[in-house]
Chains A and B, each alone.
Chain A
Amino acid sequence: MKNILKIMNLNLYYDEFQALKDINIDIENNKVTALIGPSGCGKSTFLKCLNRMNDLIEICSIFGEIEYKEENIYKPNYDVINLRTKVGMVFQKPNPFPMSIFDNVAYGPRCQGIKEKKRLEEIVISSLKSAALYEEVKDRMKKSALSLSGGQQQRLCIARAIAMEPEVILMDEPTSSLDPIATLRIEELINELKKKYTIIIVTHSMQQAARISDNTAFFLMGELIEFNKTDKIFTTPLQQKTEDYITGRFG
């Protein structure tokens, strides 16, 4: 299985407004896929379809199919909870819970019923290590997560997602609220993480997309304009609109 996620004829409406128009895209295993496009083109909306976070929005209706490991996640009685443990998410603004650093990372496993202290400790430590945060917080695991800096908080959120042992990690502009140094650390981390996980990242920065992604999808007004290898998109785009966007002629 080369493509872990297959999106077929995806149409999405907020009430009357069509936010996604007939999207078809295959997401490759263990690759970083970047979603770019001007603001309001539907990148976040698309991302939230992949772990069904759009279910929470009452006015949102979805048509088409999304296959995760060859199973349609929108079919009736599909186990959404299980999907969300396998397809983790990191949000635009770091949103750690107002709890200790330890409890933040242990939260997901605990919700899955893991109670054993030793087991939880192992998970927390290895997740923090994977998120390149362990060295910075190992002496203050019991401290509030909100005492961390923005960049640390975002890496904590990544650790929190990793603790669920997901296969896919969705990231919605994870560095947009961070300073350049914290951004660089997250980018290095993403390069590290793609060895183990499939990553789909929304970014408003084309340089970031070029630096970290293998494939890039360009969205415009709810449509997928072009999807290709990242170097192709940035060197020889097939569509005029893509070229206009990456050369900064609009958006």
Chain B
Amino acid sequence: MDKFTVTINGHTIEAKPGQSVLQTALDNGIHIPHYCFHPGLPVAGNCRMCLVEIEGVPKLQIACGTTVRDGMVVWSNNDRVRQAVRHVLEFLLINHPVDCPVCDQAGECGLQDYYMLVGRYDSRFAENKVVKHKKATPIGRWVMLDQERCILCSRCVRFTREITKTNEMAIFNRGDHAEIDVFPGGELRNRYSANIVDICPVGALTCRDFRFRCRVWYLKQAPSICPGCARGCNIAIHFNPERPHHAGGRRVLRFKPRPNPHVNAFWLCDDGRYSYPFIDDHRLRFAALREEGGVRQLYLKDALDRLADWLRASRSGRTAYLLSADSSNEELFAARKLLRDALGVRCLLPDTGLRTGDADDFLICEDKHPNTRGARILFGLGENDPVAPDRLEAGLGAELPELLLVNRADLPSPLRDKLLAAGTRLVFLGTNDNATAAAAHLVVPLVVFAEQAGTFTNFEGRVQKFELAVPPLGDAAPEWSVHQGLAERLGIDLAFPGPAAIFRQLTAEVDAFRGLSHESLTPHGAMIRHE
């Protein structure tokens, strides 16, 4: 087929047959105002903000509901269109409170955006506004509804009908008394509920967790991957570098989905979305050593000295390592190089959070770790190799180890007690406090994924990149640098300038990753080679 082109506002661009005028414009950086259109939802065509003039068609047409034709000439910026859009915006505003200073959506509101764009500041509306019933009412665990801000774009309705198929959001009554709501007495009952907050173009649906915590213009963003399960949904970490005091000391304030057509489309589950507090809460910031008479804090370098001594002292075959499927590919690769390959340490993956049985047919995976696939590949683990907690003891070998390094996991307390009683040296490498950390002889603080760059491999084998959002807390270090520090002390040649270099080395050495590069991971990740 010959080239298929359309001309929008005088720019002739190549278009995909079957696509809408609006999508074509957006893909080519031409902004056409729109509210009801969302690329992840069926077209509703109800807001009428995207009206455009199409040469040869007498009436204005909605760009979201019009399919491109070869040679089509479209205008979204001429006087006729501007006039119509101005009318539409005015209609949407007449029953809207327009009290942005007290609205949580301020700064990321579609009405505000176009208010400026279209430049209608004066209101000719001399009447009383239609009174709606619900002002700032919770309609579920995470979502707050304020009906008077709703512009009835039906995005939330379409989301609960077409995406979750749970149908909670509905528009009751007709005409200008139409109201968005849940069934009387009902509430949201799907595990993706907060997505309707993301897609609501105005402040009608807000997040109960985030409400009034922070004005959005203070937030910065970093692209990342949700650590909540093996799906690896793409997220943006929203953090407030300057004013953590505004949010009870938390730097990270929310996760928002980032679109990835191969993984999560536009969505995120509530569990993953609201897992963010672990980044700031109950963190291990400094290394700690348990000695006669108590626990003492020490510098990381001193902790590494101590750990290197212990590694040296432990007899061959008597050191074990419990790896973590929360570690990045880079961290796992460093552990493999040092512990497995150089030191011959027995490496096990504990089977915790891997087979939860909690999965659905949409995004939620039963494996609650972001990088189990990466761990399996890098440590050559088969389907049945992860070790169930009650079989860990047996897995550790015929005799209990002299030195056990535990990455993040919380050991079952009987095993922990047994190890301590048997004189095993217990070293905890981790990000957040738990009972094992509290009982360990040595604690080495690690950074969380949000404090470093790296990659995860999702359950399907898609390798995806995440970036650093916030700096490490205290002395916490990336796991790979811990391994590198140990290697130095042990006289093992393992020099990594940083995660990017590790990734390069990993792709050179590990078959499954061969051919991948940071470039090939942009923007949607890339699949491993089949093992």
Same complex origin of A and B: no
